[in-house]
Structure 1
Amino acid sequence: MAFSLFSSKNRIINLVLNDHSIRFVELKQANPPAAQKWCERFLPPGIITDGKITDLDSLSSILEECIDEWKLQRRHVRFLVPDPLVIIRKVSVPVDILDDEMKGYLYLELGSSIHLPFEEPVFDFYQLGNNGKTKDILLFAAPEQNVMEYANLLSRLKLTPVAADISPLSLYRLYHHLGRTKENEVLFTVQFDLTSVNLCIFEESVPLVMRQFSLPFNINHWELKQDSFTEIKYTGETEELVIQFEDILNEISKLSDFYRYTLTNEKKDVSKFLINGDHPMLPAIYDEMRDRFETSVEMLSLNTEAFNKQGNVPFTLLLSLGLALKEVK
């Protein structure tokens, strides 16, 4: 799964850009997962907004500085398609469509029987099963213009894009690689970042439904200390964060109920919440979810000594590490 725009290469760096940061990881080894090198750069507001590049010149200048400072020149790169751009949708197609015809069929049906909120998508699919008359397909799509804007920017800066992925799959890939998965598990992933939250429900390894929410972010209410990594401390009114968190917790409940009552007709329920993200208040969010929900809540973590003897890899980079495991057997 994910977007098949590029061919695969070796010695790949793994880049994650969102509305507030640029991060990269270079994988040293896969078993156990270990990072050889990692860095981060905080982005001022207004350069990337809701996943879309809104100030290309500034982003290009900052990324060029990062490439030079981190010594990433002329490297192959994987990157994540920002969550707000991604659609996951279940569609039905005639059962007689052959596997090698599926992509062409879906391309023809986009805009007619299959409707997306954007034109000219880049997409991939995963087959779920059939009832004898139709096949169920899980469609992953994003606007090609926005995805290629990232790819073209990286190319202009002398990097070579070789793969694009989506964050829930990267998160699940690390979770699976660490041997945490269980048979018949229904996993609800919560990627809680500083400026957005991504919710996704997996049956086994398949992301059936995903929701994305933006969080209000006023940089004047945060204290930033920038070193090799950015330390962020909230200085605004606590009540504002409480309201944000409460809204997201309500959305988590709604999506969980939607899965249980609408998607499975009460035949299945979420068996675990998996939390990850770069929000500075993530431990408090984790504690609140444990108090709020009867379902098991786990924060994604790993033995940091398996990473690098020189020190701990920040928890904010676990998503990048999941991306680095793409195509690793």
Structure 2
Amino acid sequence: MAFSLFSTKNRIINLVINDHSIRFLELKQENPPTPQRWMERFLPPGIITDGKIADFESLSSILEECIDDWKIRRRSIRFIVPDPLVIIRKVTIPADVQEDEIKGYLYLELGSSIHLPFEEPVFDYYAMIDNGKTKDLLLFAAPEQNVMEYVDLLSRLKVNPVAADISPLSLYRLYHKLDRASADEVLFTVQFDLTSVNLCIFDETVPIVMRHFSLPFAIDDWEITKDTLGLMVCKFNGEPEELVIQFEDIFKEINKLLDFYRYSQNHNEKQDITKFLLNGDHPMLMAIYDEMKERYEIPVDLIRIEHDAKSKQMSIPANLILPLGLALKEVQ
């Protein structure tokens, strides 16, 4: 499940770009997942808005500096398609459409029987139930124009985009690699970042529904510095009540998605949500974790990767969990 735009190359760098940061990670080894090197750059508001490039010149200039500083020019790149651009939708097609004809069929039906909130999507699909008359598919789509703006920009800056992924799949890939998944699991992932929150429900290994929400972000209320690892440290200097209101709004959205899943599955034999998986770069992540444990009877999990003292390696910071999951993606 990824966007098939690219060819295969080796020595791949993993890049995560969102509204407030650019992160890169290079993988040292897959088992256990271990980063070799990483870096992060804060993006001021207004350069990327809701996943779309708003100030192309500024982003190009900052990215060029990053590519030079991080010494990744002419390297192959995997990247995450920004969450606000991605939709997941269930579609039904006739059962007699053959496997090698599905993509062509979907192209023909886009805009007629299959409606998306944008034209000319780049997409992939996952086959689900086939009852002999119809086939159910999960369609993963994003506007091609916005995705290609990132591809073209990276190519112009002399790096080579070879694969794109979506953040819930990258997160789940790492979760699965660490043997945290269990049979018949229904996992609710909560990616809680500085400027946005992404919610996704997995039925076993398949992301079946996703919702994205922007958080209000006033740069004057935050102090942004770097730590000795080269990662952002964000300290909130505004009124605490502002964050409380933001968090309450997100908890309401979590409740809505819980209710939606329970209602949509009430005629099936599917079980309820079995676990929350919380992740993200929000500086209040542990407070959010404690609040979720207090509010919900559903267990709440965090991905933590601790190294033993003999390895002389520190635990992997939360900022790196998503690019580390991306690094485990195979390029096809």
226-235 or 200-209: bigger deviation = 226-235
Provide the C-alpha distance between the structure 2 equivalents of 1:206 and 1:232, rounded to a whole number of angstroms: 33
**Alpha-carbon RMSD:** 1.5
Structure-2 residue corresponding to 1:221: 221
> How much has 1:295 moved relative to structure 2?
0.4
Matched letter for residue 99 of structure 1: E
Structure 1 residue aligned with 2:300, among 297, 300, 304?
297
Q: Which digits, 9 at most, give the CA deviation of each residue in 1:128-181, with x for residues without a partner?
A: 111221000000000000000000000000000000000000000000000000
Please state how far the C-alpha of 1:44 moved relative to its aligned partner.
Answer: 0.4
Task: Look up the equivalent residue of 1:272 and give its one-letter code.
Answer: K
- Residue 7 of structure 1 is matched in structure 2 by 7
The aligned residue for residue 254 of structure 1 is 256
CA apart distance, 1:225? 1.6
Q: Tell me if structure 2 keeps the 8 A contact 1:260–1:266.
A: no
Contact 1:30/1:328 (8 A) holds in 2: no
Match of 2:23, SS state, is strand
* C-alpha distance in 2 between matches for 1:305 and 1:71: 30
Q: For 2:280, which of 263, 277, 281 is the aligned residue?
A: 277
Shift of 1:10: 1.4
- Provide the secondary structure at the position in 2 that maps to 1:319: helix
Structure 1 residue ranges without an equivalent (≥5) = none
The equivalences for 1:224-243 within 5 A come to 224-227=224-227, 228-243=230-245
Checking the alignment, whether the CA contact within 8 Å between 1:2 and 1:165 is kept in structure 2 is yes
Report percent identity of matched pairs.
71
Q: Which residue of the partner structure matches residue 245 of structure 1?
A: 247
Q: Within 1, Cα distance between the matches of 2:122 and 2:303?
A: 30
Q: Distance in 2 between matches of 1:241 and 1:261?
A: 30
Which whole-Å CA distance do the structure 1 matches of 2:48 and 2:145 have between them? 15
Q: Is the 8 A contact 2:305 2:315 kept in 1?
A: no
Distance 2:64 2:131 in 1: 52
Q: Residues 124 and 139 of structure 1 are in contact (CA less than 8 Å); yes or no, is this contact kept in structure 2?
A: yes
1:134 corresponds to which residue?
134
Offset at 1:266?
6.7
Contact 2:163/2:331 (CA < 8 Å) preserved in 1?
Answer: no
User: Partner of 2:56 in structure 1?
Assistant: 56
Unaligned 5+ runs, structure 2:
none
Tell me, yes or no, if structure 1 residue 19 matches structure 2 residue 11.
Answer: no
Equivalent runs, 1:40-55 vs 2, <5 Å: 40-55=40-55
Change (3 A) 1:309 1:8: farther
- 1:78-157 → structure 2 map (5 Å cutoff): 78-157=78-157
> What is the rounded CA distance, in whole Å, between the counterparts of 1:301 and 1:109 in structure 2?
43
The answer to which of 249-258 and 270-279 deviates more is: 249-258
Whole-angstrom CA distance in 2 between matches of 1:54 and 1:62: 14
How many Å apart are 1:250 and its aligned residue? 1.1
Deviation at residue 309 of structure 1 after TM alignment: 3.8
- For 1:322 and 1:48, locate their aligned partners in 2 and report how far apart those are by CA, in whole Å: 23
Query: Structure 1 residues 309 and 151 mapped into 2: Cα distance closer, same or farther (>3 Å)?
Result: farther
Alignment partner of 1:269: what SS?
coil
Structure 2: distance between partners of 1:16 and 1:196: 14
2:291 aligned partner? 288
SS of 2:22's equivalent in the other structure is: strand
SS in 2 for 1:200: strand
Secondary structure, counterpart of 1:207 in structure 2: strand
2:23·2:38 contact (CA, 8 Å) conserved in 1?
Answer: yes
- TM-score scaled by structure 1? 0.97
| Partner of residue 267, structure 2 | 265
Counterpart amino acid of residue 251 in structure 1? E
Aligned residue for 1:196? 196
Native 8 Å contact 1:8 1:162 kept in 2: yes
Give the count of matched residue pairs.
328
The Cα shift of 1:84 comes to 0.1
Q: Distance in 1 between matches of 2:316 and 2:58?
A: 28
> What is the CA deviation profile of residues 39-72 of structure 1, one whole-angstrom value per residue up to 9, with x for unaligned ones?
0000000000000000011001001001111111
Deviation, 1:8, is 2.2
